[in-house]
Amino acid sequence: MAALLRKARPVVSTMMWIPARGFAASVGTDVVKAAPDVKLQKARTWDEGVSSQFATTPLSDLFGGKKVVIFGLPGAFTGVCSAQHVPSYLKNAEKFKEKGVDSVVCVSVNDPYVVNGWAEKLQAKEAIEFYGDFDGRFHKSLELDLDLSAALLGHRSQRWSALVDDGKIKTLNVEKVPSEFKVSGAETILGQI
């Protein structure tokens, strides 16, 4: 499977990692304007979903007037995502607060119930806000989507991280391939704040 994942789009290194193909997401992009009709689904149990009438979160609520560190990953319960990506943010949650970050957000192309189960298993829900991008529209609108059908995952997300201040991307880091974990971890973005 790792060999299949290595065949993903390349990334070119400059001061920060920027994808070889032009993503809609880049430094300066207003995330809310780039995806005006997209809403994410906060991680929750099925019963919480029912009681909230399956409420969704508009991007303006997530990013408006806030400094947010957000990271995206291919999927809940997958290897690098569970063993390295989320733990790096969990371990550094207090350091982000010290740097004035209002919230640390993880978004995955999964439904909010799977994301909730995963976040609970990782014991990370207190430090990180988890959201599902159940249909991948958020990642597609920013062109951070990736077809991992060859690995039996379907359409997913690149592995990436960003600092978003009042809706505008200040820093964006995208891995060369989703099986790598070199530029999208918490330590990298802490050094960019």
Residues of the chain with pLDDT under 50: 1-24
CATH topology of domain 29-191: Glutaredoxin (3.40.30)
Q: Where are the alpha helices (DSSP H) in the chain?
A: 2-5, 31-34, 46-51, 59-63, 79-80, 86-91, 93-98, 112-121, 137-141, 186-190
pLDDT for the residue 154 = 55
**Spatial distance between the Cα atoms of 70 and 57, rounded to a whole number of angstroms:** 15
**Does this model's pTM top 0.85?**
no
DSSP-derived secondary structure letter, 85: I
Catalytic residues: 81
The answer to whether 145 and 160 are in contact (CB under 8 A) is: no
Quote the longest CA-to-CA distance of the chain. 47
pLDDT for the residue 140 = 83
**Spatial distance between the Cα atoms of 24 and 132, rounded to a whole number of angstroms:** 20
pLDDT for the residue 152 = 56
The answer to whether 160 and 175 are in contact (CB under 8 A) is: yes
Mean of all residue pLDDT scores within the chain: 80
